[in-house]
A and B are shown apart, each in its own frame.
Chain A
Amino acid sequence: MADGAADTRSLPGDDVLHAALEHAVAEVFSTMVGKFESLAVDAAVAAALPARGLSHVHFDREAVVEYRGVLEGHVTIRCNADGALDIARGLLMLDAGDTSLSIEEINDALKECANMVTGHVKTRVLDPLGGCQLSVPFVNSVATSAAAARDRMLLYKLQQGLISVEIWRRETAASAA
């Protein structure tokens, strides 16, 4: 683009990112994790939890991958202990009752899962904007109730556990323009 010329490409909005995230989760989980059930999307999430007896569920860890490029932000997968185990067992093709995994192995699997989901969003939505870099995935300890569900949070029931997936976008010069 010539200096001073306006970039008239339109940047994808939250709806597009959210749809790409939902597609990415479906792709990664159906291919490599196993059973997953979408509980609700958007504003219905919080209302759905008590009815399903899930409002007591607490997430205790999250895996995060940051993306940087024309758009910047991060993808977060939060889960309770059972949800993390479900992801690790699924990826490693272990039986539902397998208890042989260490915390490091479980967290490593969670990071790999976040990496694949974010990579999928990158390929579909972020790369076409003109290049995007992903951070190395990392895991944090958190203490969040599933009842704190908010708009645009995807919530899934796995084999035994529960996870939430979100995509956040930071305001950048390009996105503010």
Chain B
Amino acid sequence: MNKVLIVDDSATMRKIITRVLRQAEIPCNTVLEAGNGVEGLAKLASDPDIDLILSDINMPEMNGVDFVKAVRTAHAKEKLPMIMVTTEGGEAMMKNALDLGANGYVTKPFTPESIRAALEAYLG
């Protein structure tokens, strides 16, 4: 895996996830960041080589569910995995994201181990 895009409105959470990826020894060379779904789509348009997306659900402007929906209009689930990282453990929200094409999810608080477990299948 070469490039990971982290989409979260909290700069601190983006930093935390970046550090956790390192701690979990996830092999990625570049970590890109976006503050919401709209910015995420812009990053994806300008950098089509992104291998995996980690996205929050509860964000301003475009939330994670709408972001999944938008990404899936151009990128198949098998080609670009999307893992939701959120405090929203509610089943309805998660089911919605998964139905729209998210590949999996991690609930905050998380450990390097839980992040690694969620990404394991995509670390080719």
A88 to chain B: which residues have CB within 8 Å?
Answer: 12
- Which of B12, B86, B87, B107 is the one whose CB lies under 8 Å from A91? B12
B108 to chain A: which residues have CB within 8 Å?
Answer: 28, 32, 116, 119
Chain B 84-124 residues near chain A, CB threshold 8 A: 86-90, 107-111
Contact A116 B90 (CB under 8 A): no
Contact B10 A111 (CB under 8 A): yes
Contact A32 B109 (CB under 8 A): yes
Q: Does A171 contact B (CB under 8 A)?
A: no
Q: Does A60 contact B (CB under 8 A)?
A: no
B55 to chain A, nearest CB (A): 16
Contact B89 A92 (CB under 8 A): no
Q: Does B1 contact A (CB under 8 A)?
A: no
A70 to chain B, nearest CB (A): 14
A119 to chain B: which residues have CB within 8 Å?
Answer: 86-89, 108
B108 to chain A, nearest CB (A): 5
B77 to chain A: which residues have CB within 8 Å?
Answer: none
Q: In the docked arrangement, what's the CA distance between A48 and B90, Å? A: 37
Q: Does A109 contact B (CB under 8 A)?
A: yes
Q: In the docked arrangement, what's the CA distance between A136 and B87, Å? A: 12
Contact B87 A108 (CB under 8 A): no
Contact A108 B10 (CB under 8 A): yes
Contact B10 A93 (CB under 8 A): no
Contact B13 A112 (CB under 8 A): yes
Q: In the docked arrangement, what's the CA distance between A16 and B4, Å? A: 40
Of the listed residues B10, B20, B60, the one surrounded by the most CB atoms of chain A closer than 10 A to its CB is B10
B38 to chain A, nearest CB (A): 17
- Which of B15, B87, B110, B111 is the one whose CB lies under 8 Å from A120? B87
A151 to chain B: which residues have CB within 8 Å?
Answer: none
Contact B109 A27 (CB under 8 A): yes
Contact A31 B58 (CB under 8 A): no
- Given A108-B10, A108-B12; A122-B90 close (CB under 8 Å): yes
Q: Does A147 contact B (CB under 8 A)?
A: no
Contact A28 B109 (CB under 8 A): yes
Chain B interface residues toward A at CB < 8 A: 10-13, 15-16, 19-20, 23, 58, 60, 86-90, 107-111
Q: 17 other contacts beyond A105-B11, A111-B10, A119-B89, with CB at 8 A cut-off?
A: A27-B109, A32-B109, A88-B12, A91-B12, A92-B16, A92-B19, A93-B16, A93-B20, A112-B13, A115-B10, A116-B87, A119-B86, A122-B87, A122-B88, A122-B89, A134-B58, A136-B60
Could you jot down 8 A-B contacts, CB within 8 Å?
A32-B111, A92-B16, A112-B16, A116-B87, A120-B87, A123-B87, A123-B89, A123-B107
